[in-house]
Chains A and B, each alone.
Chain A
Amino acid sequence: MRVVTIPRYFDEKGLDTVAGELQPWPPEDKLLFDAHATRWASPYGFTAMLTAGQALRDRGAELPRLRVPDDQAVSSYWAKAGFFHHAAEYFELHGKVPRRAPVGSSDVLLPVTPIRQSEDVHQVVGGIQQSAERILTSELHLKAPDSMRFSMSLSEACQNVVEHAGGPGWVAVHAYNWRERLKRRVVVIAVCDSGVGFRASLEPTQARHHGDRWGDKAALEDALFHSVSRFPQPGRGQGLAAIKRFVLQHKGRLSIRSGTARLAHLPDWDNGPPLQDGLPFFPGAQLQIVIPSTEALPP
């Protein structure tokens, strides 16, 4: 059995580490995802882990094991985030799994939610408006129209799964304090799927324009910078452009990983790389949006 260590802090960077341990893809050994020492996972971490489980199942792999965090406070949070509820379908869970607590915390705006069809997007958009309105306006200090724009962006991000991935996906939205990094409260949307990825989606129409340069990086650039869609109609490809505009207006951060590349729109406060190529392969596409509050946290 091969052990895949889930990092202590499982976020976007953590996925690259996990993806590295999954090479060569698809892994042939039975896997143990070991999260016993994990202290924290972002919505990206939760949805990416489920994506890995889904992708392994789609490829006929033996049901992987997942050792849950030893720290009860951590595993309780994972339960509250709705992770274990879905993970039980894709992993053999080992360790003490708390019962799913009712979502009452101000951190979990949207628990991990599967996206399989158009109706799921309606549920997500309806749900976020009910649960997150107060957080978005009173804690993130978004104005009412911005709260609607937030829902529009969430809708477009989820629709990419239905329209392009050719497989199921997951969405989660949390709010938390980035006290050290930004001194602000942020809301984070993660949408991950185990589908065909940007490269395969755009290959039939775009590969010939790029020749030898064609790959995950070129496909992401086409989609994010040039609003290219696999569909020929002129109204297509505007969803990501709309998300990008909303993120830029709010000095937020948008990143998309697909296959072996990650492309990001970075605000002033983030000095990370806008483009990463040659990352370890991970199936499907993973999108993350970070919107910071307009006001700093009190010291």
Chain B
Amino acid sequence: MILKIRVDDLLRTTLATPSRDLVTRTTGAAIRLRIERAIADAPCPTTLLDFQEVGVLDFSCADEVVAKLLLLIEDEHYVVLHGVDETQAEAIDHVLSHQDLAIAIVPRAGGRQVLGRSTPDLLAAFEAVHAFGSGSPDRLADRLGWSVERTADALQTLALRRLILAANGTFSPLPLQ
């Protein structure tokens, strides 16, 4: 089950003067609090934040909404961003990299992407899990042409960063839609 939250709806109902822009720390903190409450109230392990109708996202707000949310939510909860545009992705990538955090997104232009702290191995393993589906390190190692140790290391790191799901030695993609 996925909890879907339209960030533009939160903006509309949080600000005194409606705006499409996610700017300022004050606004970011208010929006994050509403997301935290929605997550606490819903029995879903994954939350999808929809940025499709959001305009400007500045660095301060990216820090308040995305980075702080990742730091505050429980370890078993997953967050995916949807409909993120090029400049929003830049802001999110910057603030997450600065704090050793990462998140999976579906860009507005389509596809999938990891923003924040990552390595070429992590990005390749993330792509493999999403392209080939769930599997053990053995299976994905074959697909990637890597050793099992290298594959397992990358998959475990992705799981620790909440970029993929892990259960009983099987690694699965996050529901990105």
Residue on A nearest B56 in the bound complex, by CB: A151
Residues of A within 8 A of B20 (CB): 126
Kindly provide the distance from the CB of B51 to the nearest chain A CB, expressed in whole angstroms. 13
Cβ of B27 and Cβ of A159 under 8 Å apart?
Answer: no
Among B25, B27, B90, find the residue whose CB has the most chain A CB atoms closer than 10 A.
Answer: B25
Kindly provide the distance from the CB of A292 to the nearest chain B CB, expressed in whole angstroms. 20
Given contacts A235-B68, A235-B95, A145 and B59 within 8 Å (CB-CB): no
> Any chain B CB within 8 A of the CB of A163?
yes
The interface size bin for chain A is: 20 to 34
Cβ of A159 and Cβ of B21 under 8 Å apart?
Answer: no
Cβ of B95 and Cβ of A152 under 8 Å apart?
Answer: no
Contact with A238, one of B26, B85, B98 (Cβ below 8 angstroms): B98
Contact with A119, one of B17, B56, B63, B87 (Cβ below 8 angstroms): B17
Chain B interface residue count, Cβ-Cβ cutoff 8 angstroms: 30
Residues of B within 8 A of A110 (CB): none
> Any chain B CB within 8 A of the CB of A125?
yes
Contact with B23, one of A117, A121, A235 (Cβ below 8 angstroms): A121
Residue on A nearest B95 in the bound complex, by CB: A235
Residues of B within 8 A of A152 (CB): 23, 56-59, 87, 91
Residues of B within 8 A of A236 (CB): 63
Cβ of B24 and Cβ of A121 under 8 Å apart?
Answer: yes
> Any chain A CB within 8 A of the CB of B170?
no
Cβ of B95 and Cβ of A122 under 8 Å apart?
Answer: no
Kindly provide the distance from the CB of A207 to the nearest chain B CB, expressed in whole angstroms. 25
> Any chain A CB within 8 A of the CB of B167?
no
Cβ of A122 and Cβ of B86 under 8 Å apart?
Answer: no
In the assembled complex, the Cα of A151 lies from the Cα of B19 at a distance in Å of 14
> Any chain B CB within 8 A of the CB of A242?
yes
Residue on B nearest A118 in the bound complex, by CB: B26
Residues of B within 8 A of A126 (CB): 19-21
Given contacts A152-B87, A152-B91, A235-B63, A122 and B27 within 8 Å (CB-CB): yes
Interface pairs (15), CB distance under 8 Å = A119-B15, A122-B15, A122-B19, A129-B21, A148-B56, A152-B59, A156-B60, A159-B58, A162-B26, A163-B25, A235-B99, A238-B95, A238-B98, A239-B58, A242-B59
Which positions in A face B, CB cutoff 8 Å? 117-119, 121-123, 125-126, 129, 145, 148-149, 151-152, 155-156, 159, 162-163, 234-236, 238-239, 242
